[in-house]
Amino acid sequence: MTEQTTELALPEITADLAPKIYTTGGLTPFIERVADQVKGEVPDLSTKKGRARIASLAMQVSRSKTAVEKPGRDYLKHLKELPKTVELELREFVKQMDALRDEVRAPLNEWEAVEKARTDSLNERLQAIREWDQNAGELTAAQLYMSIENLMLVDVSTMEELTAQAAIAKEASIKRLTEAREAAITKEAQQAELERLRQEAAQREQQEREQRIAIEAAARAKAEAEQAAKAERDAAMQREAELKAQAEQAQREAQAAAELAEQQAINARRQAEQDRIDAEQRAQQQQQQAIEAERQRVAAEQLAQQQAAEQAQREAAAKAANVEHRKQVNNAALIDLMAHTDLTEEQAKAVICAVAKGQVPHMTITY
C-alpha cells in the first residue's frame, strides 16, 4: 500500500456557497467525502509507518472538520435570524466528525493498549529478575543454591527488546545470590563448629562426672571393704574369745576337745585374715580400673587435639600454596599484559586486580 501524503480533498467554501452548504443536510456530503477518503485505506498496524498513517488520517479528519467549521462559524455571524438551525447542524456535524475521528483512531488505540500491556509485562518480569535476591539474607545456603538454580533456568531471550537488560540483571542477581550463599556457608560452618565445641564440652563434663562417680564408687567400695574386714576381724576376735573360753572350760573334760577348739580358733583367724585381704584386693582393683578409664579418656582427648592440629596445619599449607600459585599466575599475566600493551606496571596491576575480583564482566583469570 502506498501512503498518501496530501491533505484530504474538500471543495473551498466561499461566501456565495455558504447558504447552500450550511443548511439541513448540506454538510452531509462533506462528511461522506471525508469518510470515503479515510476509510478507503487500511494501514498495517504491525509497522510503525502504518500506525503513523492512522494517526495522520485522524489528524486530517480534525483539520477537515476545522476547514468546514470555521467558514460556517463566520457565516453564522451573518445569520442572526437562523442561529438555532445552523447551530444544530454544526453541532451534529461536529459530533459525526468526532465519531469518525474516533472510529479512524480506534485500531491505533487498541494497538497502543496491547503494546502497553506487553511492555508492562516485560518490565514486571525484568523487575522480578532484578529483585530475585531481595530476601537472600533470610535464606540458608541450600535455599540460596535452589534460588540460583531457578534463576539460571529463566530464559531472558524471550524478553524481546529488554533481552540485554534482563541478561545484565540476571547476571547481577546471580552474582549477589552467589555472594550471599558463600556468606551463608561460612556462617553455617561457624555455627556447626560452635555446636561441635559445645558438644565436646558437654561430653567432657559427662566424662568428668562419670570419673567422679567412679572414684567415689571406688572410695565407697574401699570403705565398705575395710568396714567388712574390720567387722570380720571383730567377729573373729569375738569368736576366738568365745572359743578360748569354751576351750578353757572344756580343758578339764578332755584334752582332745581343747586341741580341737584351738584348731578351730586358728582356722577362724586365717579365714578372717583372708577375707580382709580379699576385700582390700577388690578395692584396689576397682581403684585401678577407675584410674585406667581416666587414662584412656585423657589419651583419646589428646589424640583428637593432635588430629585437629594436623588438619589445621594441612589447611594452612594448602591455603598458602594457593596464594602463591595465584601470585605466580598474576605476575605472569602482568608481564604478558605489559609486553602486549602500552600500559604502565601500575595500570596493568589495576587491570589484573579488577579482573581477579570479578569487576570486569566476561573476563576471568584461570588459576
End-to-end CA separation in angstroms for the chain: 62
Q: Where in the chain are the domains?
A: 18-128, 166-356
pLDDT tens digits, residue range 105-135? 999 989 989 999 999 999 998 888 888 888 8
**3-class DSSP state of 287:** helix
pLDDT value, residue 6 = 39
Q: Which of 10-14, 112-116, 131-135, 344-348 comes out lowest in average pLDDT?
A: 10-14
Q: Residues 114, 100, 2, CA angle at the centre, nearest 5°?
A: 70
Query: Which of residues 40 and 144 earns the better pLDDT score?
Result: 144
Whole-angstrom distance, CA of residue 42 vs CA of residue 261: 144
- With H, G, I as helix, E, B as strand and everything else as coil, classify residue 63: helix
Contact between residue 188 and residue 140 where contact means Cβ atoms under 8 Å apart: yes
Q: Is the pLDDT of residue 2 over 50?
A: no
Q: How confident is the model at residue 4 (pLDDT cuts 50, 70, 90)?
A: very low
Residue (of 364, 344, 346) closest to 356 by Cα position: 364
Positive/negative CA dihedral, 272, 276, 281, 286: positive
Rounded Cα–Cα distance for residues 257 and 207 (Å)? 60
The DSSP symbol for 3 reads P
- DSSP-derived 3-state class of residue 149: helix
CA distance 135 to 141: 13
Rounded Cα distance between 353 and 330, Å, is: 9
The answer to whether 7 and 60 are in contact (CB under 8 A) is yes
Whole-model pTM: value is 0.37
Number of helices (H), then strands (E), in the chain:
8, 0
Q: Is 210 exposed, middle or buried (0-12, 13-18, 19+ CB in 10 A)?
A: middle
For residues 54 and 209, give the distance between their C-alpha atoms in angstroms, rounded to a whole number.
93
pLDDT tens readout for residues 132-188: 888 887 788 888 888 888 888 888 888 888 899 989 999 998 898 898 888 888 988
